[in-house]
Structure formats: C-alpha cells, structure tokens
C-alpha cells in the first residue's frame, strides 16, 4: 500500500457528506434519572431542611453503595480529588516521596504536591496502561512512603505484585480507583485491595452525583478518622482532633446518587454492548488497537481507549482527533500530556521521558472514543465506519 501525500490526506469532504453525525457526540454523557424522581427526593430535602453534614440521604447512599460495591467501609466526599487528599492525610503521609504513574488525570499527581510529597513517576504496562509493578522496586528510596497506582480506565492494576513489593518495603498503597466503579477482580471488588481506594462520581463517570467521590477503607477505625478529616477534624462541638478539611457530600448530590444506583447495572450492561460493537467494528482496521478484556475481571467499560499507530493507520492520533471533530465525534486524549510533562513536575529526575518509554508512546497514540449508556449502537457503528473510511482514504491500493 502507498500512503497519500499530506494534501490528499486532509481531503475528506466526500466522506463528511455521507458520514457526518447530525449532533455532536461527546466522550462521556451522564445518564439522567427521571426528573420527577429527583424532584421527589428534593421534596424530602425541603421538608427536612437538612442540606448537608451527614444527612439522611448521605447516610442511605453510604450504606447502599458499600453494599452494592461489596466493601465494608465507605465514606462519601464532595469530589474524588479531595477524597484522595484526605486518603494521604488519613495515613499521615505528608512529605517524602510516593511512587505513581504519569499516565493519569492531573489530580493524581497534584494531590501529592498539595501534601508536600514528591511524585516519583513509574512507567506503565503495555497490556493495561497501568503502573508497571515490576518497575516499582528500582524507584524506592529511603524517602518513599507509599505507592499510588491508578486503575486506568477501570482495568485493575497488578494488585498482587503491588502488595508484595509494598509489604516487603513497609509501604502503604492507595489506589486511585476514580474509573473503577463496580469493577470486580477474581470475584471480589477491586476496591478491597490496598490500604485505601478513591472513587470519583464526577459527571463524566458511569455512576455520578454531579461532583462527588468516596474513599473505601479497610477498618471501622479508619472510617472514623476519614469522617473526622472530611469535616474539619471536628469530633464534637468542643473537640477538634486534627487539621481536617471540608470534603463533605451534600444531600443534593446524595439524592442523585441514590437514583443513579438504581440504574447503574443497566448503565454497565449498555456500555458492555457498546464496547463489543467497538471491538467488532475496529478489529479489522490496520493501525487501530484496543485493550482486550482481562481474564478474572468483571469490567465496567468506563472508557473505550484506542491506540493509533500512524505507520499502519495512515495518519497520526492528532490528525485523527482533528478529523473526527469535523464528523461531530468528540473523543478525548485521556491521558495526554503525561503528568510528567507538566511544568510543575517536568524537572523531576523520574519525569525524564527516557525513563518512561511506554507511557510516552501510549500518551502519543491514545484516543478515548465516546461511550456512555444512552449512546445508540448505530452511532458506534458509524464511528467505526468513519475510522475505517479515513484509514482507506489515506492509502492508495
Ligand atoms: N483521578 C483520576 C484518574 C481521574 O480520572 C479523575 C477525574 C480524578 C482523579 C479526580 O476526580 P474528581 O475530583 O474529578 O472527582 C473529566 C472530569 O472532570 C474528571 O472528573 C475526570 N477524571 C476526567 C477523566 O474527565 P475533563 O476536563 O475532560 O472534563 P470535561 O468537562 O471536558 O468533560 C468531558 C466531556 O464530558 C464533555 O466534552 C461533555 C461531557 N460532559 C461533561 C460534563 C462536565 C457532560 O456531558 N456533562 C457534564 O456535566 O475532565
């Protein structure tokens, strides 16, 4: 096959005429419950005039979420980033170094910085895009306090290997599980691994409270400490046990969460079907690859990332990204640029691109395609078709 020249590569007018979607299709969209059901919950809030601070709906959601997720202790938060900040304070980690991945949302690295901790970036695995457990040991120093891996796109990290290296060096493990709602590994919630796990319930997540999040912990004592820390450290009207923060979830968020919980099984099932359609539609396009389902894992299909290999596909990820927008398809480059490229971290020795070759490559090639429960299967088929046509267009037989 011979590649077309640059001018021809951008000439897609005829494709646009036939394949442009009538409305913009975004990478994520929240599935909304019936407005009337939310109004009913609001009526209760109005009557009780209890808006936040461990309200009735907050307590109900904490209880039902812990049950649904299959975990013993869960504390709700105003968002995932603050939950992660509090996770570090819960374990009294507020200095030194923490080993983490550069292939993540900025929040993961920033919460370390806000706790005066130096992030130490570790390269990722090719088959999951998660922090590579085999590379942790060489990054451990006398300053290392913990490991902060991310279950990227909801795919579980190598939890056994991470536990092993953490145990042998006396390190804590906090999982950024922002993407891992409902994910199970070997029949158990993935959130049962590590000392603590953080969930995000942002509007772009498959379970959402608008803004929101949670910490999953392993003991009643830890849950108590977290509850103090997220409420200014207040134990009672006259006792403050430590320097806490305001991380509380309001009743309005909890109300949405309770309704979302009734819909979340259907949301995941719909996403599973859409992921299957993407897998079928993309499998024969040269230069496009995607993550395979992992044995022993019950996935949540929170994201559908693809990698674009320019040599075989015909154009690179950035060109494809720009072209798809013309078709009204709005994917996202999660996670480009790497956290190690941000000016606040790029001078760290561990941020050297030469030390992070896989993360560098994946960040250059990755594109997250639209996936959400209310997305029509026909639109996924059209997106696959557009990807195929663009590929064919950029080669001459
Ligand atoms: N750790 C990890 C690994 C994370 O991925 C995140 C958050 C966190 C920590 C921190 O958790 P939180 O503190 O956020 O709870 C979005 C989200 O804002 C962010 O929560 C999420 N990760 C990240 C992966 O995605 P943006 O900047 O891409 O969002 P935005 O506003 O551009 O939205 C993306 C698309 O979603 C829009 O094009 C349309 C759609 N959308 C968005 C919103 C806000 C809606 O349809 N409705 C909406 O209300 O970061």
With a 6 A CB cut-off, is 202 part of the ligand 1 pocket? yes
Q: Are 270 and 373 in contact (CB under 8 A)?
A: yes
Reported as a single tens digit per residue, the pLDDT across 254-298 is 999 999 999 999 999 999 999 999 999 999 999 999 999 999 999
pTM of the full structure: 0.96
Mean predicted lDDT score pLDDT of the chain: 95
Point out the ligand 1 atom lying closest to the alpha carbon of residue 29.
46
- How far is ligand 1, taken at its centre, from the CA of residue 301, in Å? 16
Q: Which of 164, 152, 133, 127 is nearest to 294 (CA)?
A: 127
Give pLDDT, residue 8.
52
pLDDT in tens, 345-364: 999 999 999 999 999 999 99
- In contact, 333 and 319? CB cutoff 8 Å: no
Mutual angle of helices 377-393 and 251-282, in 10-degree steps: 50
Q: Which atom of ligand 1 is nearest to the CA of 212?
A: 15
Domains of the chain, residue spans: 2-30+264-396, 35-259
pLDDT value at residue 393 = 84
CATH number of 35-259: 3.40.640.10
Percent of the chain with pLDDT over 90: 93
The finding on whether 30 has its CB within 6 A of some atom of ligand 1 is: yes
Q: Are 108 and 121 in contact (CB under 8 A)?
A: no
The CATH number of 2-30+264-396, from 3.30.70.270, 3.10.450.50, 3.90.1150.10, 2.40.50.140, is: 3.90.1150.10
Strand 172-176 and strand 97-100: pairing?
unpaired
Indicate if the alpha-carbon torsion angle 349, 350, 351, 353 is positive or negative.
positive
Strands of 288-290's sheet in order across: 288-290, 304-308, 366-369
Ligand 1 neighbourhood includes 115 CB (under 6 angstroms): no
Q: Establish whether residue 331 lines the binding site of ligand 1, counting it when its CB lies within 6 angstroms of any ligand atom.
A: no
CA of 326 from ligand 1 middle (Å) equals: 22
The pLDDT tens digits for 71-120 are 999 999 999 999 999 999 999 999 999 999 999 999 999 999 999 999 99
What pLDDT shows up at residue 259? 98
Summarised one tens digit per residue, pLDDT across range 135-179 is: 999 999 999 999 999 999 999 999 999 999 999 999 999 999 999
108 lines ligand 1 (CB under 6 A): yes
Q: Is 247 in the pocket of ligand 1 (CB under 6 A)?
A: no
């Amino acid at each position: 096959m011979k590649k077309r020249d640059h001018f021809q590569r951008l000439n897609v007018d005829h494709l646009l005429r036939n394949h442009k979607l009538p409305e913009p299709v975004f990478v994520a969209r929240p599935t909304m419950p019936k407005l009337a059901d939310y109004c009913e919950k609001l009526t209760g809030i109005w009557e009780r005039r209890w808006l936040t601070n461990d309200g009735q709906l907050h307590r109900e959601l904490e209880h039902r979420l812990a049950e649904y997720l299959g975990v013993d202790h869960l504390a709700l938060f105003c968002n995932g980033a603050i939950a992660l900040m509090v996770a570090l304070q819960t374990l009294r980690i507020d200095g030194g170094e923490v080993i983490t991945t550069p292939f993540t949302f900025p929040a993961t690295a920033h919460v370390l910085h806000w706790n005066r901790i130096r992030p130490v970036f570790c390269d990722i695995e090719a088959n999951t895009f998660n922090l590579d457990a085999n590379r942790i040991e060489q990054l451990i120093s006398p300053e290392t306090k913990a490991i902060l891996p991310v279950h990227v796109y909801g795919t579980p990290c190598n939890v056994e290997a991470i536990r092993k290296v953490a145990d042998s060096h006396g390190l804590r493990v906090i999982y950024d599980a922002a993407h891992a709602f409902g994910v199970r590994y070997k029949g158990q919630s993935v959130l049962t691994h590590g000392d603590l796990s953080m969930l995000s319930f942002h509007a772009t997540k498959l379970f959402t409270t608008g803004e929101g999040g949670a910490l999953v912990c392993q003991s009643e004592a830890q849950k108590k400490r977290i509850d103090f820390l997220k409420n200014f450290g207040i134990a009672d009207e006259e006792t403050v046990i430590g320097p806490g923060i305001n991380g509380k979830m309001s009743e309005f968020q909890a109300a949405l969460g309770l309704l979302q919980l009734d819909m979340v099984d259907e949301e995941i099932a719909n996403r599973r079907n859409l992921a299957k359609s993407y897998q079928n539609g993309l499998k024969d396009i040269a230069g496009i690859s995607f993550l395979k389902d992992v044995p022993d894992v019950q996935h949540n299909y929170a994201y559908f990332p693809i990698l674009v290999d320019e040599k075989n596909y015909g154009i690179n990820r950035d060109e494809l990204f720009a072209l798809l927008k013309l078709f009204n398809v709005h994917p996202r480059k999660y996670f480009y640029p790497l956290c190690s490229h941000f000016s606040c971290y790029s001078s760290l020795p561990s941020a050297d691109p030469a030390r992070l070759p896989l993360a560098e490559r994946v960040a250059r090639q990755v594109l997250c395609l639209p996936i959400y429960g209310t997305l029509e299967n026909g639109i996924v088929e059209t997106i696959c078709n557009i990807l195929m046509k663009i590929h064919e267009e950029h080669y001459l037989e």
